[in-house]
Amino acid sequence: MREGVEWAVHCCIDLSWVSPDRPVPAARLAAFHDLPTAYLNKQLNALGRAGIVSSRSGPRGGFRLGRKPQEISLMDVVTAIDGAAQGFRCTGIRLDGPAGAVAGRAGRRTGCAVERSFREAELDWRRRLAARSVADLAEAVRRADPAAPGRVRRWFDQHGPA
């Protein structure tokens, strides 16, 4: 799992708290979390390609959420950053070498049992991530500290472009 996923999720939560008619530049988000600006920009790019955020160039430009926070799942973010590839890659060694010859015709026809089990597990993981939205996480943070959203929003307003 790439580290950028954590960054992206936190940025989405932040963006859900600032006024939507005020795009936030990558540099501001990076400064807020003390991250390398250019690299965070790259991650936000990926979010943009997935439609999770929308970007705008030039002065007064930056990023804002591309759709409502409750419509952005953690799975969406992971897919945008890490790609859609599965964690478990079946390279088919089951049928390589003599093993292929030893496996019967019936065995060759059916899928790989190992791959199936790992797919199931990964599906569980995906389902759970798909069930959690950015809005859910933002709500959890707000519950722990009701004033947090306001403070975050104020920080971005004060430290925005001059």
Partner DNA sequence: GGGGTGTTACTCGGATAGACGATGTCCGAGTTACGTGGG
Partner DNA sequence: CCCACGTAACTCGGACATCGTCTATCCGAGTAACACCCC
Residue nearer to a copy of itself on the CB measure, 50 or 141: 141
- Choosing among DNA, a copy of itself, none, which partner's interface includes residue 147 (Cβ < 5 to 8 Å by kind)? a copy of itself
Judged by CB under 8 A, the residue of 45, 107, 135, 160 near a copy of itself is 107
**Residues 104, 107: Cα–Cα separation, whole Å:** 5
**Minimal distance, residue 109 CB to a copy of itself, in Å:** 8
Question: Phi and psi dihedrals of 3, rounded to 5?
Answer: -65, -30
Q: Does 84 bind a copy of itself (CB under 8 A)?
A: no
Instruction: Please state whether beta strands 53-56 and 62-65 pair in parallel, antiparallel, or not at all (unpaired).
Output: antiparallel
Judged by CB under 7 A, the residue of 2, 33, 108, 128 near DNA is 2
**3-class secondary structure for 7-32?**
HHHHHHHHHCCCCCCCCECHHHHHHH
* Other Cβ atoms within 10 Å of 15 Cβ, number: 27
- In the window 30-49, what residues touch DNA (CB under 7 A)? 36, 38-39, 41-42, 44-45, 48-49
- In the window 63-122, what residues touch DNA (CB under 7 A)? 63
Q: Does 27 bind DNA (CB under 7 A)?
A: yes
Judged by CB under 7 A, the residue of 33, 51, 56, 99 near DNA is 56
Instruction: List contacts with a copy of itself (CB under 8 A).
Output: 1, 3, 5-7, 9-10, 13, 31-35, 74, 87-91, 93-94, 96-99, 102-104, 106-107, 110, 113-114, 116-118, 120-122, 124-125, 127-129, 132, 136-137, 140-141, 144-145, 147-148, 151-152, 155, 159
What residue ranges bind DNA (CB under 7 A)? 2-4, 23-27, 36, 38-39, 41-42, 44-45, 48-49, 55-63, 161-162
